[in-house]
Amino acid sequence: MTTTPDFTEHFAQCIQILGGTTAASRRLGIDERAIRRFINGEKPIGTGLMEDTAKALQRLIADATEAEAHILTAVGAVAKSPST
């Protein structure tokens, strides 16, 4: 028998990265109450939800990168690599 890993702590961290419960609710298309239930361990977090969360994080990265490029263009700056 295979068991599903407990994603509760990692999911809660991802929700914070997405901007909190309200913002994550919009990005994931999930009711805020359901998100709180997942975080509180009242509902199990399946791999499908984690895959959807990963996709939402990728969209956030893309949105942030686009916003950064727009800002840098507006101020005439050049993007720096994360290692510098």
Residues whose CB is less than 8 angstroms from the CB of residue 17 and which lie 6 or more positions away in sequence, other chains included: 57, 60
Asked if residue 83 belongs to a domain, the reply is: no
**pLDDT 10s digits, 67-76:** 999 999 998 8
Asked if residue 84 belongs to a domain, the reply is: no
Asked if residue 82 belongs to a domain, the reply is: no
Question: Would you say the pTM of this structure is higher than 0.75?
Answer: yes
Angle, CA of 64, 49 and 31, to the nearest 5°: 80
Neighbours of 48 (CB within 10 A): 8
**Does residue 81 surpass a pLDDT of 70?**
no
Asked if residue 2 belongs to a domain, the reply is: no
Q: Name the residue range of residue 38's domain.
A: 8-75
Asked if residue 42 belongs to a domain, the reply is: yes
Total number of domains constituting the chain: 1
Band the pLDDT of 4: cuts 50, 70, 90.
low
Asked if residue 80 belongs to a domain, the reply is: no
Asked if residue 15 belongs to a domain, the reply is: yes
**pLDDT 10s digits, 20-57:** 999 999 999 999 999 999 999 999 999 999 999 999 99
Task: Give the separation between CA 2 and CA 33, rounded to whole angstroms.
Answer: 29
